[in-house]
Amino acid sequence: MVHVLRLAIGLASAYSSHQVTVVLHGEGVLCGLRNSNPGWVGRYLKSARAHRIEILVEQEELTERKIDKSSLNDVLVSVSAADLLKRWQQSDLHLRV
Torsion-angle region of residue 52: left (phi > 0), alpha (psi -120 to 50) or beta? left
pLDDT for 31-80, tens place per residue?
A: 777 777 667 778 888 899 999 999 999 999 899 999 888 888 888 899 99
Give 1-36 pLDDT, tens digit per residue. 788 899 999 999 998 888 999 998 887 777 777 777
Q: Residue 5: which residues within 8 A CB-CB, separation 6 or more?
A: 22, 41, 44, 45, 47, 48, 53
Q: Which fold has domain 2-90?
A: Hypothetical Protein Ychn; Chain: A, (3.40.1260)
So where are the chain's domains?
A: 2-90
Give pLDDT, residue 38: 67
